[in-house]
Amino acid sequence: MNIEEQTISKQNIDKILVNKDEINKDAVDIDPKFIVFEELYYKEIKVLPYELGFIYLVSLLYKLFNECGKVSLRCLIEKMTIFNLKGDECSKLIRIVGRLRTILFHNLNLQNNKDKRTIRICEEWFNDTCGKNYPQNEEEWKSCLETLITQSMNFMISIHRCVEQIANDEFRDEIVEDIIKKRSIDLSQGEFEELVHIVANNMGMNIDCEMLTERKYQDWKKILNYSTVQKSREAIIEKSTKLIECTLLVDIELGMPITSSDIIDSFNISPSRDVGKLMKLAFRIYSDDNSLTKEKLLEILHKKYFF
């Protein structure tokens, strides 16, 4: 492994992060509230072995694109066509980084169409980069790492140019105001977790708020993106609160140890509205104490419900 090549790769990754800071500086010069990238927490990337360097870089870029800069980057890429910049290439890189992260860090189901598409897209990228559907040796991983570094540097250059173009545009105030507004109504994962704490406390539920937020955050974001266009931050928080409440109620219901069939068998009744009423009663009881077993819950139902 060539130490000089390692140094060049490391320096180029550092340039990506330097570009991030320069972009933020120029954005803030336009308007103090105009920030492209939130603070990025990362540890120094180890380039060697190249496979590990590639994995580190994918993780870093995912945080940079999808967490630190998600809203602002999306807005800037939308503006790129106005300034004849390659917005499509930027969008493509964000998507491929997301796919690469999925294939590197998650288990995929070959029977699932979405997962199969992710595999196909990643294999195409690897094939274009190193000639294999998946890198097999250090030389191939090196090629993938260098390509991703180059694409990322070009990405940051395009974003920087877009910010510079906005700074000189006659409608810059309107453009920046639109981006700031969209950033202000975008709730981070941490803000969602705080809402989960509040909602769970209001509902008297003792749950792992961090785990629930981690599991549901992307789903909540997708729903909000479709249903809250141009809404205020207050409206976003209200909608988010309702989403969390519904999620908690559904999770409780899914966790109930009994089904309608259990009620029919236990009460020796036919399918009817009484079964529905018993299920609702069981839900309320289980909501108060989700440690109840099937037997205990049915026992309580028999004591509380009279035909």
pLDDT at 244: 92
pLDDT at 211: 82
Q: H or E element: which one contains 169?
A: none
Q: What is the DSSP letter of 185?
A: T
Name the stretches of the chain with pLDDT < 70.
1-6, 226-231, 307
Instruction: HSE, CB side, 13 Å, CA atoms: give it for residue 47.
Output: 22
C-alpha triplet 241, 220, 63: angle, nearest 5° = 120
- Amino acid at position 138, single letter: E
CA distances from 287 to 26, 77, 207, 284 (A): 52, 45, 12, 5
Rg, the chain, Cα only? 25
Instruction: Give the 3-state secondary structure of residue 31.
Output: coil
Neighbour-count burial for 130-145, b at 16+ CB within 10 Å, e otherwise: beeeebeeeebbbbbb
Instruction: Give the residue extent of every domain in the chain.
Output: 3-184, 189-255, 260-304
Give residue-wise pLDDT tens across range 165-198.
999 999 999 999 989 888 878 887 888 999 999 9
pLDDT at 2: 59
The token duo for 246 is 């519904």
